[in-house]
Amino acid sequence: MTFAERMLHIDRRIIFLVIGVCTLLPLLYPVGLAIKVSPEVRGVHDYIESLPEGSVFLLSMDFDPASKPELQPQAVALLRHAFKKNLRVIGMTLWVTGTGLADLVVSQAAQEMGKVNGKDYVFLGWSPGVGSLIITMGQDLYKAFPSDYNNQPTRELAVLKGIQTLRDVNYVVSLAAGTAGIESWYVYGKDKYKFELGGGCTGVIAPGLYPLLRSGQINGLIGGLRGAAEYETLIGQKGRAVAGMDAQSATHVAIIMLVILCNVFYLLIRTSRGQSGQPRG
Amino acid sequence: MLRPLAVLVCLCLFPLTAPEAGAQQAFAPPQNLRVIDTPSDSGEGLTVLWARAGYDAPEVRYQIMLGDGAEKKMVAEFPADSHYVRDSRWPWWTRVDRPDAHQFNLKSGKGLELKNGTPYAVAVAVVKGAERVEAAPVQAVPAPNWVNWNQMNNLLLVLLFGAVVFGSIRAAKRREIFLRRIPGLDAVDEAIGRATELGKPILYLTGAGDMSEPSTIAAAVILGRVAKRVAAYETDLLVPHRDPIVMAVCQEITKQSYLEAGKPDVFREDSNFFITTDQFSYTAAVDGIMLRRKPAANFFMGSYFAEALLLTETGASTGAIQIAGTDSDHQLPFFVTTCDYTLIGEELYAASAYLSREPIQLGTLRGQDFGKAFILVVLALGTLLATVGVLFATDLPMIVLDLFKDLK
Amino acid sequence: MIFLRRQLPLLITFVAGVVFAAQYYVPHPTSELMLTEVTKWLQIISGFALVLGVTSLFHIHAVKIRRKEPGWAYSLILYGGILGTIAAGFSYSFTAGQWVNGKETINGIVTAFGWIYSDMMVPLQGTMFAILAFFIASAAYRSFRARSREAALLLIAAIIVMMGRVPLGEMLLPVSGDVTQWILNVLNAAVRRAILIGISLGAVALSLKIIFGMERAYLGGGKE
């Protein structure tokens, strides 16, 4: 077996080790590379920036712990921005396995910004049904969530004063790891109840949501950890996403180098087989 | 002598008086004011219409006044060169006035309450500088409507598509419909043969969806075909499931396939088994099965999410031949790189139609193809018409383009 | 019995399908009220579906334990995990001084249920998802080869997008950011739209077949 053939059939664990090192080292020794902000992330940021104080912002954290590394930084950045703008924040989730995580994210962000539960924000929790839940919220928010996650009656909360349905919400952002998520909020929510909708998602499903962005069905899209890092840059509060970008940069470059290497070895084998008259692989 | 002189003086003086009369003409109140219940809505809305005026300009403003007497208040104000009928989102078949007339929609919401069945007086005033003239108010009653005529194009297209699909199904029942050979199906036979030669089991996954998803239905149909070949060769078949209902359906399909292959005694009830509905728990379990049982062939049919690469990469590490078929476009790159063959998107539906040869499946496929051809033609025509409309500054192409718009 | 298993569900499907398809075109508040009522029913049914899933799981593993099938010890562990988590969710928290009631934290104090969630479930799920990063690298190394012109084009696009999505890549290849934006917003969006159209037509066709009773696979069982 030639060197090129041996390299093409290298043990996967060596590749895993390379990726592991490329992820770990930048986290231990951050570099802090500059992050360029994309128009799609700016779309979400600028809309929140344009909302007057006291506007209602609903953040639906539609992800479970598996997607926490990508979507939690997005949630934290959005909540920090919303609290800084003194918006009335409503948190909720369409994924039952993400309820605890979502509650933690909202509580921690609120505590950091000195906001009071019931007065400045509320976490509604989770309720069964996706489309049916959104439709019920569009008809009567209090029927969908008679009490919040802490069992406080929602009708008595100061933060929800004057809000009857989704039509009274100024901006909804869904942070989605898959189905149910942004598309559900558009089909069952924005299409019927006409609120403005933005989105955040994991990097792998982001390309599939560009048609919604191009057609104006969502006014912005925060894609993956990169999107979260861009948002953190926009609000001037760098967090885990920016910290993670160094690791992501190193990993991407490592994968590119591996792909280039594998193609070099492949071409070498093809060339040598061609010269020796053997069939090419 | 004096009389003709007096007439001459009056004639000379007339131009002095004319401008004042002309000034009153320039600030005539909005003409042809009409207020109607907003059509095709759920109520609590009024539409105000009035004619375009010669003085429409950015520096002139219109004001919409609601109520009468002491309760009269201004609810909107905007430049006079805006808010035309043609700017509204209504399609041409629901417009209630000429495109160059003014239109303003009043809708119950923040700061404005309109109750169904209650008459409201609406007036329109025009303001230029310090001058203000108001038209006489008109009364109208908001009411909810039973039909949303704005969406009739949508209904028409759905009915048309439905007719095409049902027509194709009828045609498929009467005569043979040609379906080109799906290349991936050769790979299916090859994979089953290889597993039999090696004496190893075949692993078949039906994806993350439930029975209401087209991809899961297609996966179940292909399972029937695979099970029939597996039964003939008496190879082991493993079908772990994420959904109990899908499991029940696939169990019946597998049993039926073994019966049709003439090998009911070889059928095992536990070939289809339920693991869990949780995404990664299921993935971990299936990965374990792959590493322990080392199946020779892995089939990944249906819809998948993040677990796709975890499953296929583990399968690749065991040296199995892997065939995937999915409509989950976000996972396609992972399937394509790790599987030996991938049925992309509708190839999965086509494969199930090809295998089952059921007229319903074949007819549906043909109907969908007609639908896609129609959309292609509309896209090309629409692009051309929209370009013509922009180049020649005409709204005529909108007659066709509005038919394909999503209007509420 | 056949009527209850076949004809009645088909009738319900037909009536409900036609009514709610028509509902989309009826803006009257009565139609919205009807939709609200039905969505409440759907919410209740969705809640029961959860119960169904758990019951199925219990039943299947109970059979495995009873018959002492291979791997039955893992079924015991599964039982222990499910019952332990449920017990933790319904337990009394002495530190917080109240019943847990399924809450992860009470007044900032982490409950036993919260510990299971944040110190077991979250890391386990995160670990499984993190494996993807390693698998992507090994899959890319094994498969991303320029075997043909199209494969080479795909490879170049993939490299540009990978560079354009990270700050280091944009620093090394400044144009990659803008080209990536163009690829995502133009090429990618166009292709996704095409796929979406195809899938949507398939979904509409399937829905029509289900409403009119031509497609009965969802009822379970094989051919009649």
Phi/psi for B322 (5° steps) reads -125, 130
Question: Yes or no: is domain A39-237 CATH 3.40.50.300?
Answer: no
Measured distance CA(C128)–CA(C126) in Å, rounded: 5
Interface contact A69, partner C, CB < 8 A: yes
> DSSP letters along B187-248, please?
HHHHHHHHHHHHT--EEEE--S--TTSHHHHHHHHHHHHHHHHHHHHT--EEEEES-HHHHH
Q: Is residue C48 part of a domain?
A: yes
- Cβ atoms of B289 and C116 within 8 Å: the answer is no
| Confidence at C100, pLDDT banded by 50, 70, 90 | confident
Where do you find CATH 3.40.50.1220 in chain B?
A: 180-356
Main-chain phi, psi angles of B64, to 5 degrees: -100, 125
Do A251 and C142 make contact, defined as CB atoms within 8 angstroms? no
d(CA B221, CA B349): 9
What's the pLDDT score for residue A254?
A: 94
Residue keyed to tokens 């019931």: A118
**Residue B107: its H or E element:** strand B102-107
C25 touches chain B (CB under 8 A): yes
Supply the pLDDT for residue B13. 47
Q: Are residues C5 and C65 in the same domain?
A: yes
Which residues from C are below 8 Å from B220, CB to CB? 217
Length of chain B equals 408
B127 by Cβ neighbours in 10 Å (0-12 / 13-18 / 19+) ranks as: middle
Give the model's confidence band at C223: pLDDT under 50 very low, under 70 low, under 90 confident, else very high. very low
User: Are C2 and C54 contained in the same domain?
Assistant: yes
Which chain A residues touch C141 with a CB distance below 8 Å?
10, 15, 258-259, 261-262
Whether C160 and C117 share a structural domain: no
Looking at beta carbons, which residues of chain B come within 8 Å of C125?
280
Domain spanning B2-147 has what CATH number? 2.60.40.10
A24 touches chain B (CB under 8 A): no
Which residues from A are below 8 Å from B305, CB to CB? Answer: 178-179
Q: Which amino acid is at A76?
A: V
What parts of chain B have a pLDDT lower than 70?
1-26, 110, 408
| Domain residue spans of chain A | 3-29+245-276, 39-237
Query: What residue ranges of chain B are covered by domains with CATH 2.60.40.10?
Result: 2-147
**Is the model's pLDDT at A102 over the cut of 90?**
yes
Burial A60-98 (b: 16+ CB within 10 A, else e): bbbbbbbbbbbbbbbbbbbbbbbbebebbbbbbbbbebb
Residues in chain C with CB shorter than 8 Å from the CB of A34 are 167, 171
Most confident of A68-82, A233-247, C23-37: A68-82
Answer whether the bond into residue A180 is a cis peptide, omega within 30°: yes
Give partners of C (≥3 CB pairs < 8 A).
A, B
- Taking alpha carbons only, the member of B45, B53, B52, B48 closest to residue B64 is B48
Q: Is the C-alpha dihedral spanning B314, B318, B319, B324 positive or negative?
A: negative
* Residue C95 belongs to a domain: no
Q: Supply the pLDDT for residue C96.
A: 80
Same domain, C193 and C154: yes
Q: Please give the average per-residue pLDDT across C172-200, as a whole number.
A: 88
Q: Which chain B residue shows the shortest CA-CA distance from A204?
A: B330
Cβ within 8 Å, pair C189-A214 = yes
The shares of helix, strand and coil residues in chain C, as percent rounded to the nearest 5, are 80, 5, 20
Is residue C218 in a domain? no
Residue of C nearest to A205 (CA): C192
Residue B126 CA to residue B135 CA, distance in Å, equals: 8
Contacts of C12 by beta carbon, 8 Å cutoff, 6+ apart: none
Whole-model pTM over 0.80: no
Does C209 reach chain B within 8 Å, measured CB to CB? yes
Mean pLDDT of the C70-85 span: 89
Which residues in chain B have their CB less than 8 angstroms from residue C143's CB?
337-338
Q: Is the pLDDT of residue C222 over 50?
A: no
Rounded to an integer, what distance in angstroms lies between the CA atom of residue C83 and that of residue A254?
A: 44
Report the run of H or E that residue A75 belongs to, with start and end. Answer: helix A68-84
Q: Does A147 touch chain C (CB under 8 A)?
A: no
Cα angle A173-A178-A183, degrees, rounded to a multiple of 5? 55
Q: Which of C143, C159, C175 is the last residue of a domain?
A: C143
Residue C110, domain extent = 101-143
Number of A–C residue contacts, CB under 8 Å: 166
CATH architecture of residue range(s) B180-356: 3-Layer(aba) Sandwich (3.40)
For residue C32, the distance in angstroms to the closest alpha carbon of chain A comes to 8
Measure in Å the smallest separation between the Cα of A15 and chain C Cα atoms.
6
Cα distance between residue B118 and residue B145, in whole Å:
15
- For position B6, what pLDDT does the model report? 54
What distance in Å separates residue B139's CA from the closest CA in chain A? 28
List of chain A residues whose C-beta atoms are within 8 Å of the C-beta of residue C46: 128-129, 132
For residue C193, the chain B residue with the least C-alpha distance is B329
Percent of chain A with pLDDT over 90: 68
Q: Could you say which residues from 371 to 390 on chain B have a Cβ atom under 8 Å away from some Cβ of chain C?
A: 371-372, 375
Dist CA C116 CA C125 (whole Å) = 12
Q: Quote the number of domains for chain C.
A: 3
Give residue A150's pLDDT.
87
- Strands, DSSP E only, in C45-184? 92-93, 98-99, 105-106, 109-110
